[in-house]
Structures are given as structure tokens and as C-alpha cells.
Structure 1
Amino acid sequence: MPKHEGVSLSVIKRLPRYYRFLGDLLEKGVTRISSRELAQLMRLTASQIRQDLNCFGGFGQQGYGYNVAALHKEIGNILGLNNNYTIILLGAGNLGRAIAKHMDFEARGLHLIGIFDNNPTVVGQQIKGLTVANSTYLEDFCRERKPKAAILCIPKEAAHETVERLMSAGVKCFWNFSHYDLSLAFEDAVVENVHLGDSLMTLCYQINEYYSDGEEK
């Protein structure tokens, strides 16, 4: 898969949404769609969709639109969803357990191969067919199994040391729920931050705007 240099993060972040909407269209038996129709469905502009897809070569035909199945497959290839990258999870508390049990990793290009925690009451438990291992064995596991990424569901204060250990063991990519800004301390790391609190505050702002006149709408 060639690298796509210069593609903005905002475009990349829209790709999963395109993939999801196209998947829904496939399930409904839709075989082709115009950029205008897709724009109406996704509440974007047709120009925005064409610009986004042109970053990767463009896939439509003038007068025909997009072949839904082909475009869905191409976006999946761009996202790397067929590569089955191995990933591990650090932190088997409530959040980590929920992610391990309910996230469909395989449908998103990943394969969960290990779960780690340092809580003796959690170590040894089974989660989705995997035994939670003691974090003491993290480096040995990484060097043997060579996971490509790690999910961090650990306290903020534990994040820096944990990432140092992972980076030294060859893991450079992180799905980060720890609220510790890894990219500031680890410039070579690939990081996707998930700030649930920030998302909730964004909702709070929108609620505040919605009710800003002081009367319930």
C-alpha cells in the first residue's frame, strides 16, 4: 500500500465515516450513488466529498457516480482494514474490559492478541478468550509476538513509563485513553487520542448553546 503524503488529518478522520455510510448502503442493496446523493445523506457538500476522495486518486465516473461496493473496498484498503494488525490492551479495568469485549477489532483491521494489568485481582481472568497477563511480562510478550499497536486504558500517571517500556520493546502506535498527551513526550509515536471527558464537555457546550435563551425548546 503506497503512502499518501500530505493528506490532512481532517480528511483521514472522515474516511471511517464514508466507509460506514457506504457499508450501510451496501446492506440496503444500493449499487451506485452520486456525490450529490452521498453528500445529502452525510450532510456534507458534493465538492467536499470529491475533494476528499481525490486525495487518494478519485474513484467516481462523471455521469455515473460511485460504484458503492468498489468505493467501500477502496476506502477499506486505504484505511488498512484488511491487514489484520496485531494489538494489545493495557489496563483491564472497567473501560479496558468493555473495549476488549465489545469492540469488533477484526472489522476495523486489528486483532487483539494480549491484555495486561498489574492488579492481582484482575490478572488471570479471561476476557474475550484471552487471559489477562501481569504487566511484568509486557516486554517479553512484545518481543516475541511483535504487536503493532497498544490500547492504553491506564491511569494518566502510569502512561509515560508504560509507553517508554512499549517503545523500547518495539511498539510505536497507540490508541490512547489515558489523558496523557503522548505526542508531546514521544515525537516518534503514532497516537490516536480519545478524550471521553473532552467529548462530554463538547456535548455540554452544545447543550448550553441549545438552551442559551433560558427557555426549554
Structure 2
Amino acid sequence: MGNKNISMAVIRRLPKYYRYLGELLDNDVQRISSKELSEIIGFTASQIRQDLNNFGGFGQQGYGYNVEALHKEIGKILGLDRPYNAVLIGVGNLGQAITNYSGFRNSGFEIKALFDANPRMIGLKIRELEILDSDIIEDYIKEHEIDIAIVCIPKNGAQELINRIVGAGIKGIWNFAPIDPEVPKGIIVENVNLTESLFTLSYLMKENNELKK
């Protein structure tokens, strides 16, 4: 689509629109106004209109939005109109939880293989996927046209592993390792730091308590 000037704040709101519109579809809601959508999502009606206008005119004055059409278009904007093949590296508690979550496959993201460096894990199965030795990960990525790597390993060795998978052709990394990895231009990394998220919650709770005093 080539929308190079869209802010990350807008982009990070799109998945929420997509999720709520999907729930409306499940409830057989066919159309909705920006005001009604604002009451559900929590953004202002003006914010919703501004966000969506970045990508074209989806609504009609006096009619609102066609829920199914808007859901489909936002899916296209998010790149969800195509499937993605993924591998997961690091099958500890977090890696196992991600593997067991069925919502990824339902959204078009399929984990094709699991990898771990622990010899005791290799050969075990989770959801019919055998855990493979991370030593062979480069060959697997090259042979199976893998788009995304989900990295769930500790800090030590994470950058080295990321260098290896980038060299093997990975273009997108969903990174749960507690580092901000260095990658070449053109490689997309989405860092998910659970501790930082928890610290944000702690801050907001503190601020909320102070406002009540």
C-alpha cells in the first residue's frame, strides 16, 4: 500500500480494530457507526475516523461502516490476507505456551517447527510437532520457506542466534528474548519484553493509587 508516513501509534491500534470487528461479525453485526465503535473500543469517534482515513474512505456518512468489509480491509492492511510460516526457537514454558495457542493458526500464522538447544528436549513433541536440534535451524529455514522466527531463548546467545536465522533468510522476528537485537536494514523485529510490560502496569497502578489520595 506504500503508506510510509503512517505513525506507529496508528499501526498499533489497527489490531485492536481488527479484533473488535471480528467479534462484531461473530455477533452478526453488519454495520456500525464510529460513535458506536468508540463505545466498544474506548477510542474517540474522531480518533477512529482519523485512523481509518489514513488508509482510505471506509465509511459512509449516515450509514457508518460495513463491519465485514472494514474487517477484511484492515486484515489486508495488516498483511493477514496471506499465510505465514513460522518456526519457534526455545521450547521452555513460554515457548510451549505460544505453541499451544491455537489462535495463531486461525489467523494464518502456522508454526511449522520447534527448535531447542537442550538435548533433553530434542525429540519430544508438542501439538504433534517434534522438537528439533537448533544446530540445523539454518537448513530448515532455507528448505521450508519460513517467514517468521519466534525467539523465546534467554539473553545469552540470543544475538548470535538471530544473526544465524537472519543469514538463513528470515525477514521477520517476534522476539521474546530480553535484548534489543541488532539486525540489518530490511529485517523486521517486534520485541515483546514481558518485564517491561509488567513494570508499565506497576507504574500505572502507582499513579492510580496516588490520584485516589
Alpha-carbon contact 1:50-1:58 (below 8 Å) kept = no
- Paired position in structure 1 for 2:17: 18
Secondary structure, counterpart of 2:60 in structure 1: coil
Does 168-177 or 205-214 show the bigger shift? 205-214
* Runs of 5+ unmatched residues, structure 1: none
Tell me the alpha carbon deviations over residues 113-141 of structure 1, each in whole angstroms, 9 at most, x when there is no partner.
11100101111111111100001111110
2:75 corresponds to: 76
TM-score normalised by length of structure 1: 0.93
Report 1:75-114 matches (<5 A): 75-114=74-113
2:14 and 2:183 mapped to 1: Cα distance?
Answer: 28
Query: Which runs of structure 2 are paired with 1:1-217 in the superposition (5 Å)?
Result: 2-182=1-181, 184-212=182-210
Following superposition, the deviation at residue 51 of structure 1 comes to 1.1
Question: Which amino acid in 2 is paired with 1:23?
Answer: G
1:106, 1:76 → 2: CA distance?
Answer: 15
CA distance in 1, matches of 2:57, 2:109: 26
**Unaligned stretches of 5+ in structure 2?**
none
> Which digits, 9 at most, give the CA deviation of each residue in 1:27-75, with x for residues without a partner?
2221111111111221111111111111111200111000011111111
Contact 1:83 1:110 in 2 (8 A): no
d(CA) in 2 for partners of 1:110 and 1:29?
A: 25
Residue-by-residue CA offset, 1:177-210 (whole Å, 9 max, x unaligned):
001102x454432011111101111111122122
SS of the equivalent of 1:66 reads strand
- Say if 1:214 and 1:48 are closer, same or farther in 2 by CA, change over 3 A: closer
CA distance in 1, matches of 2:30, 2:148: 35
How far has the Cα of 1:76 moved from its partner?
A: 1.1
Identity %: 48
**Which range moves more in the overlay, 99-108 or 115-124?**
99-108
RMSD: 1.5
